[in-house]
A and B are shown apart, each in its own frame.
Chain A
Amino acid sequence: MSVPLTLTVNGVAYPLEVEPGTTLLRAVREHVGLTGAKEGCDDSECGACMMLLDSRPVNACSYLALQAEGRAVTTVEGLAADGGLSPLQEAFLEHGGVQCGFCTPGMLISATALLAKHPRPSEEEVRIGLSGNLCRCTGYDGIVKAVLTVAAAGK
């Protein structure tokens, strides 16, 4: 049986009706229609589905949509306004942090949360901070460089 729910994603309130068991990931991808967050494992192992929930990164595949009611959900689509790019998004491109791009949305969410909490992380802290996000293409090199570059610029 569906239940009503208002989900606030990237600052927009969406009135939805979902089954109680619907995950946050499915609600955002299928009901809201934002497909930036990806399903890589449905098991909290890969991090491709990460979203910010009140600034805290969560694996949206393992989080119920109902638990997100009344909270601010941010997806990769909400990281920059007006068609621009955030400093992290720019840096990912400049440093080769993007290849196939499937992990990128979750990786950007994770990196955004990391820098919000630790504006000047060491390389080790960046690597540990991103260890919940699997990337199979880049060897993490460009991603780590991008995060460190943005941190150093203090943007």
Chain B
Amino acid sequence: MTTATFIRPDGKEKVTGSGRYTADLNLTGQLHAKLRYADHTHARIVAIDTTKARALPGVLAVLTHEDVPDVRYGIMVKDRRLFAKERVRFEADVVAAVAALTPELATEAAALIEVEYEPLPAVSEIETAASDGAPLIHEEWASYEGDDEMGRDGNVLGYSTIVKGDAAAALAAADVVVKGRYLVDASQGAPIEPRAILAQWQGDRVTVWSSTQVPFAARSGVAHVLQIPESNVRVIVPLLGGGFGSKCDFHFEGHVAALARAAGRPVKLVFTREEEFVAPDHRREGMVIELESGARSDGTIVARRGRLVLDGGAYCGEGGFFAQLAAMHACGPYELENVDVSSTLVYTNNQPSGSIRAPTAPQVCWAVEQHTDELAEALGLDPVELRRRTLLGEGSVSPTGQVFGKLGIKQTLERAVELIGADGTPAEGEAVGVACGWWPSFGVPSGAYVKLNGDGTGTIVTGAQENGSGAVMGLPLLVAEELGMQPGDFSILYQDTDAGPWDMGSSGSQTTFNNGRAVVEAAREVRDKLLDLAAEKLEVAREDLRLADGAVSIVGAPDRSVSIAELAGEGTAILGKGSGAVPENPPAEPGEGCLGRLGMESFLEPQLFTHAVRVKVDRETGVVRVLQVAAAHDSGTIVNRIGADGQVYGGVVMGIGQALSERTEFDDQGRQRNPHLLDYKLATASDVPRIDVNWIENPAENGGPQGSKGVGEPPSVPTAGAIGNAIAKVIGARVRELPMTPERVWAAGS
């Protein structure tokens, strides 16, 4: 069902201001928390003295590593403690936490904690961290429990290669060869809601209200760091004010729960904007990207060599798969005869990296797509024509041995080019650029219940998490269609780990893809029950019944019917449950490389896309203005049009920000120099143009409900690459640093 106008169920509370976000909640007896962060980006802790903080009137709890179980946590590598013990490794490592009567007292007490350090050499620069003899960020790395597929070694947190054929020989024999080195600065998810957490114990159970994208991961994190059963932890997410990945993973729920237990009172933590910049173990990773490709004169890409180094920051978080994912994007959705790509994720003393909307993809795509235009130029081919000849198609085999079915990537290219209207001579200072990309759909378990209420309405109980995208808000569309009801007939009980089944949360563009299948399965069970009940009541065979318009009627005798309200109102529990079969990742061949089986070696039902942009460059100042964006996406069948369109509009604008202005600057010690929205520039309404969105709806065979794929992450992927290609056409030179700030554009063009 494609619904052009669908009012999201949480809409009214959001436009009236009556909806509650975590920071809006307060509990009787509530205290306020403040975290004490490290004073150095890399240092040994000699001593921590909390005497003065504890003595301040109004302070009810002060915690350090001594007050919580001595365990490390981490989804892929257990490399972090709730409170730093021997060492601090980045500027926002948490050394202590305070709960006090007021936020002001908590801040004062946190500052009174005295920490003695022995400073250690800090490593902020990515390639330095990867070099021989660099100071080890984690001396005890080898003893950490972690995923064996990552290829960890000293400061190397992850290592992955993709090797196919003999790239060196193919390059030597190629008609043209181009090389390029690209540098990417770190950037941020920067949700407008700074995170907030509120915890309250009742007996042995703790309830945590948190602005997290992943309540079940938060629950297991709290249970692990406090060494209590998961069933003693309930995580509730009030309305979530955006995340974009930055609120994935377990973060600070453990600190607040521990404070609340120690103080014997509810405790609330609300981040400042500066904390939201520096403290989460989630920001977009900086990179060094070196690419070399060779082609025959007809455009066939005979070889790609790539070397990538990614800044993992001080802790792994959930980003341990980034090296492999970046390697996949270094290949891109192209036919490559020979490949030799290596990708390394390194520890540094910078803020930890973590998934931000399509992690690794916008940066690598930006480099690869500019590199592709360079190759086209060397070949004397139009960049669009080179892509026509080299993009993957049905039957193509990827460098990791994945064999593809129908792929809409070339359709997205043609559509985007058509929409941007690239014909004719561009105006002075203007040019059009194009970039293509791919991103996997993630098949993971999910679950939901659908129950009918006595008045004939229904309730969807789901473990899925709404991040704002509308993915959960769109679930009633799917259920209503199965049950012959209206989307407005359904309420949704969600974002409560005590209510819905386990879910991965709002990450990996997975909600409709996985939870959509789950709710459809649950709805079908309800449908079966309704038909059984109606068959009994109407005394006819089930096969003769049809369920539509809120009633079950007899085919051919529509006047003989029974309403859903009547069937549900008789007191029989009408409840369906579903998980849906999880599609398996397509097989991949490791070849001769060190592939790493981290789940990214093949792309399940890849989302495919092309953005075409028209930009204007002021050569005198280097200022770039994006005048028009055409975004064509193959995300399979679109089940909620207004929601899907919204993902593209928002993703493109995030892409424009990443392309031109968004940049976290680290000093040589790894401290952020611009942790505020004045100098970390998000695109405003007046910075961006209207955007044309177009969907290539090829139903996915192995996809989500109705042949859908994921939607949410890809829209931010190719925009920067397209802008880079357009800039290069105007200034006649490549901007090889991201973001492409006015200074960098001016310097490249001078």
Residues of A within 8 A of B (CB): 29, 34-43, 45-46, 48, 75-77, 79-80, 85, 89, 92-94, 96, 98-105, 108, 123-124, 126-128, 130-144
Asked if B272 and A42 make an inter-chain contact with CB atoms under 8 angstroms apart, the answer reads yes
Nearest A residue to B23, CB-CB: A39
Nearest CB of A to B652, in Å: 6
Within 8 A of A (CB), among B188-216: 190-194
Assembly CA distance A45 to B95 (angstroms) = 30
Asked if B16 and A46 make an inter-chain contact with CB atoms under 8 angstroms apart, the answer reads no
Which residue of B193, B645, B651 is within 8 Å of A100 (Cβ)? B193
Asked if A36 and B7 make an inter-chain contact with CB atoms under 8 angstroms apart, the answer reads no
Assembly CA distance A135 to B102 (angstroms) = 30
Residues of B within 8 A of A29 (CB): 24
Chain A contact surface mostly = loop
Asked if B642 and A96 make an inter-chain contact with CB atoms under 8 angstroms apart, the answer reads yes
Binds A, one of B63-71, B324-332, B479-487, B677-685: B677-685
Which residue of A42, A48, A85, A123 is within 8 Å of B16 (Cβ)? A85
Total A-B residue pairs with C-beta atoms closer than 8 Å?
A: 174
Asked if B8 and A98 make an inter-chain contact with CB atoms under 8 angstroms apart, the answer reads yes
Asked if B649 and A43 make an inter-chain contact with CB atoms under 8 angstroms apart, the answer reads no
Asked if A137 and B685 make an inter-chain contact with CB atoms under 8 angstroms apart, the answer reads no
Nearest B residue to A105, CB-CB: B17
Asked if B15 and A102 make an inter-chain contact with CB atoms under 8 angstroms apart, the answer reads no
Nearest A residue to B677, CB-CB: A45
With A46-B192, A80-B16, A99-B470 known as contacts, the answer to whether A138 contacts B650 (CB < 8 A) is yes
Which residue of A41, A48, A105, A136 is within 8 Å of B654 (Cβ)? A136
With A36-B18, A139-B650 known as contacts, the answer to whether A134 contacts B686 (CB < 8 A) is no
Assembly CA distance A67 to B195 (angstroms) = 29
Residues of B within 8 A of A (CB): 5, 7-8, 10-21, 23-24, 190-194, 239-244, 270, 272-273, 467-470, 642-643, 645-646, 648-654, 676-678, 682, 684-688, 690-691
Residues of A within 8 A of B13 (CB): 101
Asked if A137 and B468 make an inter-chain contact with CB atoms under 8 angstroms apart, the answer reads yes
With A36-B16, A92-B15, A134-B677 known as contacts, the answer to whether A100 contacts B242 (CB < 8 A) is yes
Nearest CB of B to A155, in Å: 15
28 A/B residue pairs, CB under 8 Å, sorted by A: A38-B23, A40-B193, A41-B194, A77-B16, A77-B17, A80-B16, A85-B12, A94-B5, A94-B7, A98-B8, A99-B242, A101-B10, A102-B192, A102-B241, A102-B468, A104-B15, A127-B684, A127-B686, A131-B687, A132-B684, A134-B192, A136-B192, A136-B244, A138-B646, A139-B650, A141-B645, A142-B646, A143-B685
Asked if A131 and B685 make an inter-chain contact with CB atoms under 8 angstroms apart, the answer reads yes
Residues of B within 8 A of A139 (CB): 646, 648-654, 688, 691
Assembly CA distance A108 to B191 (angstroms) = 18
Asked if A99 and B469 make an inter-chain contact with CB atoms under 8 angstroms apart, the answer reads yes
Assembly CA distance A89 to B16 (angstroms) = 8
Assembly CA distance A43 to B273 (angstroms) = 9
Residue of A29, A79, A101 with most chain B CB atoms under a 10 A cut-off: A101
Residues of A within 8 A of B654 (CB): 136, 139
Asked if A100 and B241 make an inter-chain contact with CB atoms under 8 angstroms apart, the answer reads yes
Residues of A within 8 A of B240 (CB): 100
Assembly CA distance A137 to B645 (angstroms) = 11
Asked if B12 and A93 make an inter-chain contact with CB atoms under 8 angstroms apart, the answer reads yes
New A-B contacts (16) at CB < 8 Å, excluding given A43-B677, A100-B468, A131-B685: A38-B192, A39-B194, A40-B194, A75-B17, A85-B16, A96-B642, A101-B14, A101-B15, A101-B19, A126-B685, A134-B684, A136-B191, A136-B650, A138-B649, A139-B688, A141-B645
Nearest CB of A to B525, in Å: 31
Residues of A within 8 A of B676 (CB): 41, 43, 45
Which residue of B15, B17, B643, B677 is within 8 Å of A93 (Cβ)? B15
Asked if A100 and B191 make an inter-chain contact with CB atoms under 8 angstroms apart, the answer reads yes
With A99-B469, A100-B242, A104-B14 known as contacts, the answer to whether A135 contacts B691 (CB < 8 A) is no
Residues of A within 8 A of B15 (CB): 76, 85, 89, 92-93, 98, 101, 104, 108
Assembly CA distance A149 to B244 (angstroms) = 29
Asked if B21 and A134 make an inter-chain contact with CB atoms under 8 angstroms apart, the answer reads no
Residues of A within 8 A of B272 (CB): 42
Which residue of B8, B14, B273 is within 8 Å of A40 (Cβ)? B273
Residues of B within 8 A of A43 (CB): 273, 676-678
Nearest B residue to A135, CB-CB: B192
Residues of A within 8 A of B190 (CB): 136
Asked if B192 and A48 make an inter-chain contact with CB atoms under 8 angstroms apart, the answer reads yes
Residues of B within 8 A of A101 (CB): 10, 13-15, 19, 239, 241, 468
